[in-house]
């Protein structure tokens, strides 16, 4: 067996921490994906995933054995998730799947599964294999980096051939499932670069992740810091476009911390602040500060919004025969109607456990004087594709033009899929999907003619390994 240093030199796989793999994907081993492979893997149930699962391998720097355990945990999860997505895409009407954009996404999933098949049904036993496997993960993340924007355009172009309810049902499953697939891959990549074997390879001994991070999870995340960062970014765009810059006031407990994924929270808060900033400016109330309250949520949180959420989850879980939990299969895109594998076993696994109901978190309220949301628009708030853009502007976006892109829409990037989502009506429902993925949620209360309150609840990781 090659040493890690020798393997890295031989494969050209590793670079100093902070850089991804540079090798061409043509060097990644692939296997032909057959219908039998897809059917076999898709027959495996999907399971709710918790932040605790992603932290269970220990704090960086991971030992060699812990790094191998992370690779095998990742390998155990991803092939079946990709197969479920392929079957879900194939269950769409043929004319929709034939759309070039939708077909491209299907091809991307088949490609990613072909890179994982050589590792399926076996374990990764040494560091040389782990290096090659982590390169496959980097390729997977890159391949699916713009999935949401491509799907959005595909469904806009094919909307004559599929109903709105069918689109919503598919996207709810597909985009939520994508969050987990990408997260599991990115977590292993981050753990790889912060592992002890990689530190031994690094040219810069000081090049390492902050001590509060376990992979992509910040165990001491301060929501107030992300709020200020998003305020600065959205404010700059507002000043450029409108000539004014709304302000915010943070009250409550700005020093509150939770264990969560910064990129997810940044995407959610960017969407929410973008909507509030635009509303107060267009309502002529930009001199009124937007009030943001940060309230640590006790472990026994049982708010009215959470009660309603649990009621919804109970009904959905009963439908598929799964026990009730704070995180439902629906929340994580695991209610896979296309694959038809949602039996009682889908909530039980030796590796993936239900979210601890006693996990503390935080609730963030964003209150603005933007005039509220009209009853007509309020009813469509959570629809994928609901947008105030007119038909010509939408088609301009689909064809690749930039004439209809508003500066405020163009800042929706990061976890959400980049500026190519601008104005396509995916920002708010996608933000809610990120919030609900780990047992949180978004609730909106609007006083038409006055303003809007948005409640973002986030659940932390619970007991983090030391």
Q: What is the mean pLDDT of residues 342-346?
A: 42
Q: How far is the C-alpha of 190 from the C-alpha of 464, rounded, in Å? A: 17
Q: Which of 251-265, 295-309, 433-447 is predicted with the least confidence, judged by mean pLDDT?
A: 295-309
Please give the CATH architecture assigned to the domain spanning 4-214: Up-down Bundle (1.20)
Token duo for residue 25? 């994907």
pLDDT of the residue at 333 = 56
For 82, 418, 437, the CA distances from 146, given in Å and listed in that order, are: 16, 7, 20
Q: Which of 20-29, 71-80, 160-169, 345-354 has the lowest mean pLDDT?
A: 345-354
Between 25-29, 366-370, 381-385, the lowest mean confidence (pLDDT) is in 25-29
CA distances from 136 to 78, 119, 295 (A): 12, 10, 40
Residue 220 neighbours by CB distance under 10 Å: 12
Listed in sequence order, the residues at least 6 apart from 227 whose beta carbon sits closer than 8 Å to its beta carbon are: 248, 250, 269, 273, 292, 294, 364
The two three-digit tokens of residue 8, written as one number: 């890295």
Q: Give me the residue spans of the domains in the chain.
A: 4-214, 217-459
109 pLDDT above the threshold of 60: yes
Contact assessment for residue 216 and residue 263, using Cβ atoms and an 8 Å cutoff: yes
In this predicted structure, what is the pLDDT of residue 8? 41
> pLDDT tens digit string along 244-270?
999 999 999 999 999 899 999 999 999
**Contact between 118 and 31 (Cβ < 8 Å):** yes
CA–CA separation, 459 and 466 (whole Å): 19
Question: For residue range 270-284, what is the model confidence (pLDDT) as tens digits?
Answer: 999 999 999 999 999
CATH of 217-459, one of 3.30.565.10, 3.50.50.60, 1.25.40.10, 3.40.50.2300: 3.30.565.10
437 closest CA partner among 316, 320, 265: 265
Are the CB atoms for 75 and 116 separated by under 8 Å? Answer: yes
Distance CA 119, CA 121 (A): 7
Find, among 12, 16, 17, 137, the residue nearest to 73 by Cα. Answer: 137
């Amino acid at each position: 067996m090659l040493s890690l240093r020798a393997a890295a030199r031989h494969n050209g796989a590793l670079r100093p921490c902070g850089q991804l793999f540079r090798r061409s994907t043509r060097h990644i081993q692939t296997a032909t994906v057959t219908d039998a492979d897809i059917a076999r893997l898709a027959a495996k149930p999907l399971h709710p995933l918790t932040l605790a699962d992603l932290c269970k391998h220990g704090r960086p720097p991971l030992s060699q054995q812990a790094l191998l355990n992370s690779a095998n945990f990742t390998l155990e999860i991803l092939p079946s998730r990709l197969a479920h997505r392929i079957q879900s895409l194939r269950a769409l009407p043929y004319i929709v799947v034939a759309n070039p954009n939708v077909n491209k996404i299907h091809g991307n999933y088949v490609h990613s599964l072909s890179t994982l098949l050589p590792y399926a049904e076996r374990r990764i036993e040494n560091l040389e294999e782990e290096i090659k496997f982590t390169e496959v993960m980097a390729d997977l993340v890159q391949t699916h980096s713009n999935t949401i924007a491509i799907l959005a355009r595909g469904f806009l172009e094919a909307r004559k051939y599929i109903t709105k309810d069918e689109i919503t049902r598919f996207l709810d499953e597909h985009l939520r499932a994508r969050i987990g697939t990408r997260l599991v891959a990115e977590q292993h990549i981050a753990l790889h670069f912060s592992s002890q074997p990689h530190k031994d390879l690094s040219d810069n001994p000081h090049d390492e992740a902050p001590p509060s991070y376990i992979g992509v999870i910040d165990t001491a995340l301060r929501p107030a810091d992300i709020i200020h960062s998003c305020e600065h970014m959205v404010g700059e765009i507002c000043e450029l476009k409108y000539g004014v810059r709304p302000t915010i006031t943070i009250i409550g407990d700005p020093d509150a911390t939770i264990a969560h994924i910064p990129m997810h929270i940044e995407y959610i808060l960017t969407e929410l602040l973008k909507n509030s900033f635009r509303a107060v400016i267009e309502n002529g109330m930009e001199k009124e500060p937007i009030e943001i309250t940060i309230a640590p949520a006790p472990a026994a949180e049982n708010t009215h919004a959470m009660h309603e959420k649990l009621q919804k989850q109970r009904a959905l879980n009963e439908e598929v025969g799964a026990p009730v939990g704070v995180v439902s299969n629906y929340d994580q895109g695991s209610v896979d109607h296309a694959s038809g594998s949602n039996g009682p076993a889908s909530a039980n696994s030796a590796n993936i456990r239900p979210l601890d109901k006693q996990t503390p978190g935080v609730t963030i309220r964003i209150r603005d004087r933007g005039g509220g949301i009209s009853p007509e628009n309020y009813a469509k708030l959570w629809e994928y594709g609901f947008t105030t853009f007119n038909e010509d502007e939408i088609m301009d976006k689909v064809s690749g033009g930039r004439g209809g892109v508003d500066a405020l829409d163009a800042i929706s990037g990061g976890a959400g899929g980049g500026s190519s989502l601008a104005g396509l009506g995916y920002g708010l429902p996608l933000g809610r999907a990120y919030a609900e993925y780990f047992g949180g949620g978004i609730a909106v209360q609007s006083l038409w003619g006055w303003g809007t309150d948005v409640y973002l609840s986030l659940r932390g990781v619970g007991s983090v390994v030391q």
